[in-house]
Structure formats: structure tokens, C-alpha cells
Amino acid sequence: MSEGEWSTENGCASQPLNMEHSNDDMTSSSSPHRIGLYVPQPCSLLTLGAITESLACINQILDEEKYTLFYIAEQTDQPVTMAAGLTLHAEQAISDAPDCQLLIVLASHAPQAALSDDVKRALAVYAARGDSHLLALDNGGLWLLESGIGLDATWAWHGHTLDAAAQRYPQLALSHELYVIGERLSSGCGQSAALDCLLAYLSRFESEETIQTLADALCLERVRPGSDKQRVTSGAEMQPRLQQALALMESNLEEPLSSDELAELVHISRRQLERLFKRYLDTMPARYYLQLRLKKARHLLQTTNQSVVQIGLMCGFSSGPHFSSAYKAHYDMTPRDERAKRFKTF
């Protein structure tokens, strides 16, 4: 491998990005699950690494090359130059619409020019195939939307570019969730959340024990559900009143403040506070506050020996039944079930 080419020799990954597969690899009796990664422009190396490392690790865990990854670009003779001078060499052109069970579209920015008809036709082919799943990460969703795909779907979008996407597609349902897994079309905000998103996809085909082993290999404390919200969007960072409200919530988990009290402390009306939360965090203050308290409770259940009752009180729940019902509604298990997970395999 020449200098400047991306490789993942550490951890589980063992193949460079310009890896080649023989025909024998593609026709083995194990029927590999083919995953195409379409990178039309420079992308996040963190998101890219999350994809390559996850797949390399799960193949090692399974002791077989079950998941085969290949790279797709506009043209195979034009490597994509990444950050730090790294280059990605594609094996297939998107216009050929190579067969795969999963097509990941990954891009950091919006298309710099109108998509060619060849690209739109190829993406439409994937959308029409009954055996293909589409996953858009970061701004990769724009390639699908520009091709008329997913206009009526709900999209998880990175908070830093969500406002721009909303302006481009004002009727689109955009979410601050980490990722959204659909039947044929999924989306994620990318970056570290790409790990959670890909593990959620792999869980369709692998056992819970295998996914937990993979999470452990990737040093994930837990696999975050797609319903988890991105912590703060770039727009929220520009809103001092919202930042003040979030800080007040974080510092008052044991004795939660009401929405009226929060609004008064940050010197705006309750209605204004609710509008800020809805616009930048896609939720209401009370709901966000509850999620913070439950997240803290989950951390304590997983990392301390405090009793379930004590943890409930520390997180602002006045009674055990109230804590248990709220926890089960959010995490689909009781606090005692969560605690029991520490002592058995996932």
C-alpha cells in the first residue's frame, strides 16, 4: 500500500480501502452479505472508520468473511481524496449499480453540482430492488433525496446541517434522533453514531450475544437506540437561553424544576421555551428533562451498587412505581431488569 492510502491495521480491521476481492470471494458457499459504500465526495474519517472497523470486527467474531465491503464512487479511475491526503480507491462505479444487500451513501457536504442522470438512475435501481437496503449517513441523504428517494420518509440528520436540509426540503420530516432504521431505507447522523446505527442494522442478522460481543470489541459502553437525541445542534449552541435551560436541567436532576420555573430562571415565557426546545431539539422541555433523568438513572444502575429505590430518588422520582413505569416506558425494561443485565450476557 502506497503512502497516503487509508488502512485500518489496528484493532479488528485488516483490509485497506482499496481492497480487491476475487471472484472466488464473492461466490463462496457462505453467501457473503455484500455491502456497498458509495462515497461521492470526501467524507468523515470517523464515520468511515466506524463502518470498516465494525464489519472487520464482526467477521473476526464470526470467524468468516460473512460481510464483504466494497467501495463505489462516481468513477473508478478517480480516487476520492480524503483528509490528511488519504485516498479512497473505488472498485465499482455507481452507474453500474453493483449488487449488494446494503448500500451506504456517505458524504460530509451537499452535492457541489447537480447529480447526473446516471447517478439518479442507479440510486433509483437500488430503491426499487426488493433485496437491497439503503442507508444514508451524514449528508448522504441528499443524494437519495435529489434522486426522488425517501421524500415521504423520516430522516435522522446531523444537527450541524439539519437547518440547511430543512431549507432545501421544507416538507421533509427531519429528526434529531441518532438514527432511524426503516424497512428498506435508513438514515443516521453519522460520526460516532454510525457505530450504533450499523450495529442496529447487523442485529437483524445476528444474535444479541454476537452484537454484544461486537460492542465490547469496539469498547462501546452500550449500543444507543436510534431514539436517543443528538445532544446539541449548532443552532442550539447559538441560543444562550436554551443553553441556560439545559444547564439548569443537568444540575437539578434530583429535584426537577417545572417548565414554568425553568422559563422564569432564563427570563423567557414558557411558550418561548417550548418553541426553542421544539425547534432545536425536536422535543418539549418536560420530555427532554425526563430523558436526562432516565439516562442518569441508567448510568447509575449500570455502574453503581446503589439500590433501585435510591437511584430513583436521586433522579427525581418520588416513588418506586413511578420510577419503574417511566423507565420501562422509555427503555422497554424495568430498572431491576437493567440492573440484572450487569450479571449476565446481553
**Could you tell me if 150 and 246 lie in one domain?**
no
Last residue of a domain, one of 169, 184, 218: 218
Domain that residue 94 falls in: 33-218
**Could you tell me if 171 and 46 lie in one domain?**
yes
**Could you tell me if 157 and 37 lie in one domain?**
yes
From CA 27, how far away is CA 302, in angstroms rounded? 44
Which is more confidently placed, 91 or 104?
104
- The percentage of the chain sitting over the pLDDT mark of 70, rounded to a whole number, equals 87
User: How high does pLDDT run on average in the chain?
Assistant: 85
Please give the sequence-ordered ranges of beta strands (E in DSSP) within 11-141, or none if there are none.
33-38, 67-73, 80-81, 87-88, 92-93, 102-107, 133-138
Range 39-43 average pLDDT: 90
Q: Per the domain annotation, does 331 fall within a domain? A: yes
84: confidence class by pLDDT, cuts 50, 70, 90? low
DSSP-derived secondary structure letter, 343: G
pTM recorded for the entire structure: 0.64
CATH number at residue 305: 1.10.10.60
* Structural domain count, the chain: 2
Q: Are 135 and 54 in contact (CB under 8 A)?
A: no
Q: Write down the pLDDT at residue 12.
A: 63
Range 65-90 average pLDDT: 85
Q: Per the domain annotation, does 159 fall within a domain? A: yes
Q: Write down the pLDDT at residue 313.
A: 95
Coil vs helix vs strand at 172: coil
How large is the angle between the packed helices 285-303 and 320-331, nearest 10 degrees?
Answer: 100
Q: Write down the pLDDT at residue 285.
A: 95
Q: Per the domain annotation, does 114 fall within a domain? A: yes
Q: Write down the pLDDT at residue 20.
A: 36
**Could you tell me if 121 and 53 lie in one domain?**
yes
Is 69's pLDDT higher than 60?
yes
From 43, 34, 51, 33, select the one nearest 73 (Cα to Cα): 43
**Could you tell me if 169 and 304 lie in one domain?**
no
Range 270-284 average pLDDT: 88
**Could you tell me if 209 and 246 lie in one domain?**
no
Q: Per the domain annotation, does 21 fall within a domain? A: no
Q: What is the pLDDT of residues 306-341, one digit of tens each?
A: 999 999 999 999 999 999 999 999 888 999 998 887
Per-residue burial over 326-345, b if 16 or more Cβ lie within 10 Å, else e, is bbeebbeeebeebbeeeeee
**Could you tell me if 166 and 81 lie in one domain?**
yes
**Could you tell me if 211 and 254 lie in one domain?**
no
Range 100-128 average pLDDT: 94
**Could you tell me if 92 and 192 lie in one domain?**
yes
Q: Are 312 and 339 in contact (CB under 8 A)?
A: no
Q: Per the domain annotation, does 231 fall within a domain? A: no
**Could you tell me if 90 and 133 lie in one domain?**
yes
Q: Write down the pLDDT at residue 67.
A: 97
Q: Per the domain annotation, does 10 fall within a domain? A: no
CATH number at residue 184: 3.40.50.880
Last residue of a domain, one of 184, 218, 252: 218
From CA 329, how far away is CA 317, in angstroms rounded? 14
**Could you tell me if 190 and 323 lie in one domain?**
no
Is 178's pLDDT higher than 50?
yes
From CA 147, how far away is CA 255, in angstroms rounded? 50
Q: What is the pLDDT of residues 138-153, one digit of tens each?
A: 999 999 999 999 999 9
Instruction: Indicate the range of 65-69, 240-244, 288-292 predicted with least confidence.
Output: 240-244
Q: Write down the pLDDT at residue 4.
A: 42
Q: Per the domain annotation, does 4 fall within a domain? A: no
From CA 165, how far away is CA 169, in angstroms rounded? 6
Q: Write down the pLDDT at residue 166.
A: 83
**Could you tell me if 126 and 274 lie in one domain?**
no
- The percentage of the chain sitting over the pLDDT mark of 90, rounded to a whole number, equals 53
Angle at 181 between CA 238 and CA 284, to 5 degrees: 40
Rg of the chain over CA atoms, in angstroms?
A: 22
Range 194-214 average pLDDT: 93
